[in-house]
Amino acid sequence: NKGEEGSLGEQGLEGLLGPAGPDGDQGDMGEKGNTGPQGPPGQTGIPGQPGSASTWSSGFLLVLHSQSETEPFCPEGMTRLWTGYSLLYFEGQEKAHNQDLGLAGSCLPVFSTMPFTYCNVNQVCYYASRNDKSYWLSSAAPLPMMPLSDEEIEHYISRCVVCEAPAQAVAVHSQDQSIPSCPPNWRSLWIGYSFLM
C-alpha cells in the first residue's frame, strides 16, 4: 500500500557558483543601413556678440599737440597709436633738420634732449659731439628761472598723440573772417587761423 504524502521539507542551502562558461562566437556585423530623410530646419539662433575693433589699417595719420604736459585725446572714431613729446627741430652734424608738426615723426614716444647719435663707418658712435641741439614744442607752464635737471624738464615739453584716421584730414580756409564749413559728410575736428609759412 502507498502511504500518505509527507509535508513539504525546508528549503536547502544555496549551492556553490559554477565555473564560467566558454565565450560565445562573435556574430557577423550587419550591413550599413540607408540614410534617413533630412529633418526639418532648426530654429534661428540667438544673435552673436558684437565683433571686435577692426584690425585693418587705413594708413591715414593725424597728429595732435596739446602744448601742455597733458596727453591729448584722439577725436571720436579714431584709434590712438602712440603718445609722446612734441619735437620741433634739431641740429646734428652741423646740419639743421626741421620736423613738420603734422607728421608722426614730430611725436617721439620717449623724451631725450638729444634723440640721436652720430656713428662713423667704423661703428664708433658719438653722442652730441658737434654742438648738437634739439628744440621741442613747449607747454604753457611758466619758464623756470634756474636750469632743470633729469625729468624736471618734461613738465615744460608739449605732449602729443598720433591717431589713425578713417580718411585724410582736410583743411578748409575761408580767406575772410568767417569760419568755413566742412564738405558734405565730413565733420569738424577743430577751427583755427590760416598759417602760411
Residue ranges per structural domain of the chain? 60-142+153-165
pLDDT at position 179: 94
84/157 Cα distance (integer angstroms): 10
Does the global pTM surpass 0.75? no
What's the pLDDT band for 129 if we cut at 50, 70, 90? Answer: low
Q: What is the mean pLDDT of residues 184-190?
A: 89
61/108 Cα distance (integer angstroms): 14
pLDDT in tens, 41-56: 888 888 877 766 555 5
pLDDT in tens, 86-101: 999 887 767 788 888 8
Largest pairwise CA distance in the chain: 148
Contact 69, 155 (CB under 8 A): yes
Q: What is the mean pLDDT of residues 5-12?
A: 78
Looking at domain 60-142+153-165, which of 1.10.10.1100, 2.170.240.10, 3.40.50.150, 1.10.287.110 is its CATH number?
2.170.240.10
Nearest to 157 by CA among 73, 74, 97, 83: 83
pLDDT at position 95: 76
**Whether residue 157 has pLDDT greater than 80:** yes
Contact 131, 61 (CB under 8 A): no
Three-class secondary structure of residue 100 per DSSP? coil
